[in-house]
Structure 1
Amino acid sequence: MWQEIVVGIIVAVAALHAGRKYLPAAWRQQVVYALSRRGLSQDKLARFFNTESSCGSGCGSCGGCGDSPAPPAPPSDGGPARRVIMLNVQR
């Protein structure tokens, strides 16, 4: 009987670790949101699953749907916007 309990705990911890490490960020955010609705601490869950707190709840505090920062200004020297690496081919 104790063997089944220990094996069940090991399997649960392994599944939790795999979910924490390999799930896509959007799924991890949904897990944090679903567990926080059940009464668990959202800040602790967000830290554990490496997500931002409050994402997925629609409250807007995660900055996901707020104003996006302005794109960086192009270089003012009039040159190309991309850097070019010159290669010297020796034959």
Structure 2
Amino acid sequence: MWQELMVALIVAGALVHFSTKYLPLAWRRRIVYTLGKRGFNETKLARFFKTSGGGGCGSGCSDCAPSTSTSCDSKSTTTSKQRVIKLHVQR
């Protein structure tokens, strides 16, 4: 009985880890949206599932209030540095 319970907990933990790391971004956003509708905190879920913002604001900020939607913190995805790999084709 105890062994089966422990195996079930380990499998549930592995499923949570898999869903936060390897699921496509669209599925993770859908999970955050669905759980947010059920009463869970969308901001914490968005951070846990590594999606941008809570509830799909689109601005990259976790706070969607109208007064702060234009001013995000310095860790916003729109102001982060992006690396570009330049390919030089030699023919």
Please state which band the TM-score falls in when normalised by the shorter chain. 0.5 to 0.7
Q: Percent identity?
A: 48
* Structure 1 unaligned spans of 5+: 56-60, 65-82
Query: Structure 1: how far apart are the matches of 2:17 and 2:23?
Result: 10
- Aligned-pair distance for 1:62? 2.2
Q: What is the match of residue 55 of structure 2?
A: 54
Q: What is the match of residue 45 of structure 1?
A: 45
Aligned pairs for 1:5-84 within 5 A: 5-52=5-52, 53-55=54-56, 61-63=57-59
SS in 2 for 1:44: helix
| TM-score with structure 2 setting the length | 0.61
- Aligned-pair distance for 1:54? 1.2
- Aligned-pair distance for 1:14? 0.2
Q: What is the match of residue 2 of structure 2?
A: 2
- Aligned-pair distance for 1:2? 1.0
For the aligned residue pairs, the C-alpha RMSD in angstroms reads 2.4
- Total equivalences in the alignment: 64
Query: Structure 2: how far apart are the matches of 1:24 and 1:33?
Result: 14
| TM-score with structure 1 setting the length | 0.61
* Structure 2 unaligned spans of 5+: 61-85
